[in-house]
A = this chain, B = another copy of it.
Amino acid sequence: MESESPILIDRASAYGDGVFETIAIRDGNARFWPRHLDRLQTGCASLGIACPTPAELEQKMRAEMRRSDVRSEFASARLVVAAGDSPRGYRRTASAPPRVSVELFTARALPRVHYEVGVTLRRCNLRLAIQPALAGIKSLNRLEQVLARAEWDAADIFEGLLLDLDGRLICGTMSNVFIALNSTLVTPAITRCGVSGIMRAHVLQLLSEAGIECEIRDVSGDELDNADECFLTNSQFGVLPVKGCGGQEWGIGTMARQAQSLAAANGVPECAP
């Protein structure tokens, strides 16, 4: 049926057939650009989309910064690489070029108090599906995150944590999570579901360089129950300590503070404790 129509559809809106990056723009520069580029290329490869060259993507970013009214001292850019148009149907047209779009959004640093005393989370009811074919990448199929985010409206809940269908802790709706367990730092493996975060990778590198061990492995929901401390990472806000989740309460631990300080000293000044 799918080859019969000359009318084309936009595959991003029809099927979520693409990947995106949300990039912190600081003083006119795309922060952690090489990492974003790498995840974009990985995502395109996973989906079989021909990723434009780094030069082409940089040129698009710069053009949007020139075009936009949004001040690029402190902003966010949404960069999308999607499969191009095709006739209706799941099959892609081999010859269609990918569609690249960039849009700049205003941003503001989070309130200082978030970094100072930590934020409060909830544990979401929605469980993430296990789909290794899409794990790690940031595709345009984000209904699970939308459904999870729709679970709460209270302004004092900053983020929701997500377990997978088998009960493993994976990540937040828009962030990655680290916990301290018996003085060891642990962050969930992103092999079955979840997004492999840019700030997560940056913090993991900084921890490693500082000689602080962090295990990347499966983490059970029970381990979250027993955590001694908890913090979040995200490319826009950096590192945020967590003071509570559901019934749990945490003091701000030394590991969260170390991660904040390391990030603040290495490209993410806004997250200084």
Contact = CB atoms under 8 A, between A and B. Distances in A.
A50 B146 CA distance: 15
A139 B143 contact: yes
Contacts of A142: 14-17, 90, 141
Interface string A140-167: 1111111111100000000000000100
A7 B104 CA distance: 9
27 contacts: A1-B107, A1-B110, A4-B106, A4-B108, A5-B107, A6-B106, A7-B105, A12-B13, A14-B20, A14-B140, A14-B142, A15-B141, A16-B142, A17-B143, A17-B146, A47-B147, A48-B147, A48-B150, A89-B149, A89-B174, A90-B173, A91-B150, A92-B146, A92-B150, A129-B130, A134-B143, A141-B142
Contact of A91 (B7, B10, B89, B149): B149
Given A129-B131, A130-B165, A133-B147, A15 B140 contact: yes
- Best-buried of A6, A107, A142, A148 by chain B (most CB within 10 Å): A142
A126 interface: yes
Nearest to A105: B5
B133 A126 contact: yes
Nearest to A142: B15
A83 B147 CA distance: 12
Interface in A224-260: 234, 236-237
Interface of A: 1-2, 4-7, 9-17, 20, 22, 47-48, 70, 76, 78, 82-83, 88-92, 103, 105-108, 110, 126-127, 129-131, 133-134, 139-150, 165, 173-174, 193, 234, 236-237
A6 B75 CA distance: 12
Copies in the complex: 2
B47 A143 contact: yes
Contacts of A83: 146
A105 to B, nearest CB: 4
